[in-house]
Structure formats: C-alpha cells, structure tokens
Structure 1
Amino acid sequence: MSAKNQGNTFRLEVLKARGNGVLTSIDNISPDTTIAELKKRVAQQKSQLYPDRQSYRAEPTGKSVKDTQKLSELNVDKTKKIYFKDLGPQIGWSTVFVAEYAGPLFMYLLFYIRPSFIYGSSAGSKPMHFAAHLGAACWTFHYAKRILETLFVHRFSHSTMPLFNLFKNCSYYWGFTALVSYFVNHPKYTPPSFGYAQIYLGLAIFILNEIGNLSIHLLLRDLRPAGTNQRRIPYPNKNPLTNLFHLVSCPNYTYEIGSWLGFSLMTQTLTALLFTFAGTVQMTIWATQKHRAYKKDFPDKYPKQRKAIIPFLI
C-alpha cells in the first residue's frame, strides 16, 4: 500500500453483475488493492467462490478486468462499487486437455487393434491396408504429442476453465475420433485413388506440419516465463519452421490445419476431411480473436503484414 493511500481506505460494495443484488461488502480496502487481492478477500467471506471462479468488471455490462489492475485504476475507489460474475465451477486447463486428448488416443486404437469389437468377429481376420496402418500411427503420434505438450510445454495464462468445457471439448474430440476411425479402419476401407504416391505425399505433409506445430509451441513457451501472464510479440527464432510468424499471428493453428489436410489426403476419407474442416473453422475463430488482441495490446509495434491464420488471406 502506498503512503498516500494508507489512510484512504473505504467500504467496497461487491454487486452481482446480473440481478443487481449485493454479494458482499469489503471494509477498509485500499485504492491500491489489486483485483487478485480482492478475489482473496471475497473468498475469505464466501469460501465457495474461490479466486478462479470470480470475475469482476467496473460496470454491470463491461468487460472483465485483469487481476493486476488496481481499484484506483478502474475508478472503483470513487464509485465504491464493483460488479461480480460467477464463472461457475472450474477445472484445471491441463486436466481438461489431457482428458480430451487421451480419449481420442485410446478410442482410435480400439477401432484399429480390435476391429472385431466394432465390425463383427470376421473383421479381425481381414488384412488392413497400409494407409490404415499409417493412419493409426499418425493419429497416435498426434495425440500423444498433444498430451506431452500439455504436461511439459504449454504455459497457460489462466490456471482453470469452466467445468462445462470438459464435457463440450471431450464430446467434440471423442465424437470425431469415433467417426474418423470407424471409416479408416473399416474392413471395406477403399485405399487412396493415386496409391502409394498419394499416401506418402499425405504422410510427408502431416509430418512436416507436426514438426512445425511443435516448433511454434516451443517458441511460445519461451516467450512466457513460468508462473507469469506476460505477453510479448512472437517473432521467428533460428528454427526455419518458425518463419511462418512473418505471415500469421497463430502459425501453430496453421500447421495444425496442415497436419489434418495431410492426414485426409493420406487416408482419403470424407470423415477425416470433415474433421479438418470443423477444426479449421474453430481455429480460425480463435486465431482471429488472438490476432485482434495482439493488435490491441501492441498497437504501434505489431507487424502490419501479418494475417491471423492463413497467409495473405485471413
């Protein structure tokens, strides 16, 4: 607490953003108090509202404010009111990601290793095409990589997300896994039209983009020191696969799309292409949001030639 504000404490009313009711009141709070400190004070009074579940805004319909902002910066020391939103039950990001990635990993292998469980007892004796074997290897590699990145590479700006996201994300990934693996591993699977040339081309595209995706994730990890929410403009490093940052804000998504295009070409299945399309739509939304955030946070410094996800287009 700064010296000038030591005797300038006040009583803060914490109001509900919806319903305009009073959640609680905090006595003897300083204008220098941060939102993170306010969350701890509220949690002391309302134990069920642990800090990760709380969100605050200066106006009932305003945007959520950052944990690092002080009450005085938000003019709350003048209005003596702040508006609370309950984010609902929370769950750790890493827990959600491991759950949503482990499901596809094991579910796909169930179709591949035990086809008799899915297609009938005779399916186990029928040979699989080489493309189906490669499909299983690529799918396993991708989701094993994602789990390892979640555990050892990614640094999350928030420690939790709403519990509902666990069910939503798992439904998406697990559902598409069943759809894709059902047709790739089917006894009546039709191999790619252009034979091994198409298979190996798709495999090469998949591998290149998987390496590119990992390269971007490692660069982004190094931009954010452990335990911080620091944001910096990402630029390419010595790895040539990171040069995509010259063209787009979210090259990790660009490479992700490339991986699934390669997989779709390699296996030549409509369901894999549908999965690629759905992922492209969602990642384009995320990339556009992140691109706008970068430009807002770094209005004069952010590279103007960058697009969000597709070079020169989006």
Structure 2
Amino acid sequence: MLQRQSRDPAAHGAALPMAHNDSRSFFNLSQLVLSAGQIKPSPALKHSKITYFEVEIVDVQSKKQICIVDKVSSCFVIGTGPQWYPSRVGLQLEHNGPFLKDSISIQSLAASSIITLYFTDLGQQVGWTTFFLTEYTGPLLIYLLFYIRLSTIYDQVESRKNFRHPVVHLACFCHCLHYIRHLLETLFVHKFSEGHTPLKNMIKGCAFYWGFTSWIAYYINHPRYTPPSFGHKQVSYALPSPWIETGSDFPTLFFPLSQGNRTCFPSPTYNPFTWLFLLVSCPNYTYEAGSWISFTVMTQTLPGKFETE
C-alpha cells in the first residue's frame, strides 16, 4: 500500500504541469483572437462587364479601308493607336470634321459597337519648343553676323573708313534683347496645348523671321548707313518703347502664367508696365507691334515696319 501511495503522487505530479501549460496556451490564444477584432469574411470578387468595340480605319483621300482593329476596350485612348508614329496621325470622326484629340477615349465616340475613323497623314512633325527656339535663335545670330560686318557681306575698305553711328550699336542691343526675351519665354513661360506642329509651318516661320532680320540688319549695319534725320532727339523719343515692351514681360518670366494644369491670363500688377492689360486682350502683341514701330523710327529703316505685320 505504501508503495502504491508513493507512486500515485508522482503520477499526479507529472500530470499537473501539463494541465497548467494547456490552460496557459488556451488563454494566450484567446487573447490573440480578442485583440485582432472581429473576423470579417473575405469580400466577394466583383466581375465587371468589359465592352469591346470594332474600329475601322479609312483613308480620308482614297476612301479605302486601311485596317480594322478588333476587340478595342472602352478605355482605349486615341493617342495609343498602333502602327503609325503618333504625331503624324490625324483621325476624324467625320470626313470633313475636326481632328480628334489624343486624350479622347473610344467610349466617348461610340454610337454603336462599330466605329469608323478617317485617317490623315499629317506629315513630318516638330515640337513647339523646337519650333520657337529655331525661329528665334536664327534672327539673334543672323543680326550679329551683319553687325560684325563680315567680309563676305560688306566691302572691308568701306567698313574701316566709315565711323559707326551710336544708333547702330543701340539697335543691335535692342534687337538682341528682344529675341533673348523670346527665347526665355519659350523655355520658362509658354505652355503649349498641343505637342507638335507640321514641319512646313516651322520652315515658313523661319523664312519670315530670318529673312526680315537679314533685310533689317543689312541696312542698319551697312557702312553707308544714314543716321536718323532728327538725330539724337529722334532716337531719344523712340527708344523707350522697346524697354516698355521688355519690362512688361519680365513679370511673366519670373512668375509663369499657370496654376497646376490650369492656364491663366496675365493681370495688371503694381508694375506700371502691366497696366496695358486693362485695355487690350492681347497685350503681348500690342507691345510687340509698338516695339517694332519704335525700332523703325529709331533707326529710320523701312524694313523694320514689316516685322509688325
């Protein structure tokens, strides 16, 4: 009996720690579940119905079918069309209608599941920034070539003999300042709604600006150039206009006319050069015309007048 009793406590003593450990594990598990909050069932997957369209591309000139794009989703954007360089593609919903913007989706155009678009090759394209930088850099460099009186342009014997009137140096400074301002506006101010323009437009713009710059610079920097008839007074009265034009646009150089994705128009400020904004809808073109008229009077050269046209 004594041996049996001595074995029983040992057996119970071995079982007690196991029961204690089980209760502690259960307690810890319950605390973990309670701290995790209510167990939510996983949300059911929603299957959205996808609408597909069939897009037919037709050549606007020959009226022949170019291709058919099948299974086009409703979120497809015009500007992501296949096979062609995007900037050369012109798509129209109607034969003589306007060109569609790249941001328009297929779903906004669809009247049925089949859509017909008319394709036009817009030709070689250039970016607007490249367009204006090329257009304005040319006059700046061309005028300086005439100003230094290259031997291929003027007779060097006459160039050494004739003294340059001060208005010649002043005209060069004003002309360079004018186009430097245009270059700064192109780089830091202008926001373009469209990304590209046909190359032929840049060629025409360069022909105009470069050609008239050559015409103006040739006469003003010629060794036989005749100074203004009324001398210093004529120069003094005509000179302020280019400075007014430059001063009016300096605020836009330091404070670009945009707020996020929204473009705003300039408004008058404490700067008196901006007060013309109250009177005209396009003050930049008004100042531009005024500056070239002033330049024409200051240098007494007819070609400068044509820059205002």
> Please, what TM-score do these two structures have when normalized by structure 1?
0.75
Which 5+ residue runs of structure 2 have no aligned equivalent?
1-45
For 1:40, give the aligned amino acid. T
Select which of 69, 80, 101 maps to 1:26: 69
CA contact (8 A) 1:115 1:123 kept: no
Q: Deviations over 1:115-151 (max 9, x none)?
A: 5432211132121111111111111111122222222
The answer to whether 1:164 aligns with 2:194 is no
Aligned residue for 2:171? Answer: 135
Percent of aligned positions that are identical: 39
Residue 79 of structure 2 aligns with which residue?
39
Deviation at 1:175, TM superposition (A): 0.7
Task: Give the distance between the partners of 2:52 and 2:221, measured in 1 at CA.
Answer: 67
Q: Does 1:112 align with 2:144?
A: no
- Cα offset for 1:250? 1.9
- The aligned amino acid for 1:23 is I
1:85 maps onto 2:117 in alignment: no
1:172, distance to aligned residue in structure 2 (A) = 1.0
Match of 2:294?
262
The residue that corresponds to 1:223 in the other structure is 258
Displacement of 1:223 in angstroms is: 2.3
Question: What count of residue pairs does the alignment treat as equivalent?
Answer: 263
Q: Could you say which residue in structure 1 is the equivalent of 2:224?
A: 188
CA distance in 1, matches of 2:236, 2:48: 68
Letter in 1 for 2:281: S
Give 1:242 deviation, angstroms. Answer: 3.3
CA 1:265–1:16: 2 relative to 1, 3 Å: same
Aligned partner of residue 124 in structure 1, secondary structure: helix
**CA distance 1:223–1:106, change in 2 (3 Å):** same
Name the SS of the counterpart of 1:147 in structure 2. Answer: helix
Partner-residue secondary structure (3-state), 1:138: helix
C-alpha distance 150-90 of structure 1, shift in aligned 2 (>3 A): same
SS of equivalent to 1:206: helix
Cα offset for 1:265?
1.4
Rg larger in 1 or in 2?
2
TM-score under structure 2 normalisation? 0.76
- SS in structure 1 at match of 2:163: coil
Secondary structure of the residue aligned to 2:56 is: strand
**RMSD (CA atoms):** 2.5
* Cα drift, residue 153 of structure 1: 2.3
Deviation at 1:270, TM superposition (A): 0.7
Deviation at 1:21, TM superposition (A): 2.0
Aligned residue for 1:81, secondary structure, equals strand
Task: Tell me the distance in 2 between the aligned counterparts of 1:153 and 1:62.
Answer: 32
1:199–1:266 Cα contact (<8 Å) kept: yes
By how many angstroms is 1:6 displaced? 4.0
Q: Is the 8 A contact 1:210 1:256 kept in 2?
A: no
Question: Shift of residue 232 of structure 1?
Answer: 4.6
SS at 1:118 equivalent: coil
Aligned mate of 2:135, from 97, 100, 104:
100
Give the drift of 1:16.
Answer: 2.1
Runs of 4+, deviation exceeding 6 Å: none
Q: Secondary structure at the match of 1:29?
A: strand
Is the contact made by 2:184 and 2:253 (CA closer than 8 Å) also made in structure 1?
Answer: no
Q: Does 1:247 align with 2:287?
A: no
Q: Deviations over 1:67-124 (max 9, x none)?
A: 3333333345455112222211111222222222121111111111125432211132
Asked if the contact 1:71–1:77 (Cα under 8 Å) also holds between the matched residues in 2, the reply is no
5 Å-filtered alignment, 1:53-64, equals 53-64=88-99
Work out the CA distance in 2 between the residues paired with 1:204 and 1:240: 14
* 5+ residue gaps, structure 1: 279-314
Q: Is the 8 A contact 2:56 2:115 kept in 1?
A: yes
- In structure 1, distance between residues paired with 2:118 and 2:107: 15
SS at match of 2:55: strand
Q: Deviations over 1:235-273 (max 9, x none)?
A: 445544334333333221111111111111111101111
DSSP-derived class of the 1:117 partner = coil
